Amino acid sequence: MIDQLKKYQFLFEELVKRDFKKKYKRTVLGMGWSILSPLLVLLVMKIIFTQFFGRTMTHYTTYLFCGLLTFNWFSESTNLGMRCLYANAAVFTKINVPKYLFLLASNVQTLINFALTLLVFFLFCAIDRIAFTWRFVLLIYPILTLLVFNIGMGLVLSALFMFFRDVDYLWRVFLRLLMYGSAIFYTIDQFSARLKLAFACNPVYRHIAYFREVVIDGTVPSLPAHLVLAGFALAAFAVGAFMYKHYNTKFLYYV
């Protein structure tokens, strides 16, 4: 894969540039929307849910931001990744290029958007009087595992979308359920052990929990927590890679 990336480096760079230009075409703020959009959602959710969940919770704004930051990246990455093959069919039907390049290009775009929002997140942490410690360096780990997980899910979804357009509608519904099931604006302390186990099986929630443990609690997550994130990432990537390898030659017939 690395050799192919070097071979098609120019194409890859042009795909990333094209996706950026296409996304912010005819907008006044341009990339500013990458920061403004999650901030507006944060403001609305803070106003609504502080009255129900944040009255007794310290650093509730940071708690809420951790959830939105992680979930929005996953949502944007998988939504773009799902349509990347179909949207670029005019290219790979005429030129023999690795089809995963389109997915990687879309993930680079969402990663840059995430990085911009992350800078704003750190600013909010300072305003919320969160102590910055060396443990913040550990956030690199869940960022890397979520990146791999997003790529893996994008491989799966883009392959399925080529065969079944209904995946788009089903994924939208699933993302809505996932948002409410990832403890973005509430805690899971009041739930039963069985429901807590269900949360533990949610990859997005586990990444959110890692962020909160490092940023808000100021602690180092356990070794099992690290292994779980790696397990989710590798499993998603393995399934996605298998689907691309198995159905690679069939994509052309479903454009």
> b/e per residue, 27-54, with b = 16+ CB within 10 A?
eeeeeeebeeebeeebeebbeeeeeebb
Q: Residue 225's pLDDT band (boundaries 50, 70, 90)?
A: very high
Placement of tokens 């944007």 in the chain: 76
Provide the whole-model pTM: 0.87
- In tens, the pLDDT along 63-95 reads 999 999 999 999 999 999 898 888 777 776 677
Percent of the residues in the chain that have a pLDDT greater than 70, as a whole number: 76
Each domain of the chain, given as residue ranges in start order, spans 30-254
- In tens, the pLDDT along 28-77 reads 555 665 666 677 767 776 766 766 665 667 888 899 999 999 999 999 99
* CA triple 177-81-201, angle to 5 deg: 40
In order of 17, 58, 77, 87, 157, the CA distances from 92 in angstroms are: 18, 51, 21, 10, 18
Contact 76, 110 (CB under 8 A): yes
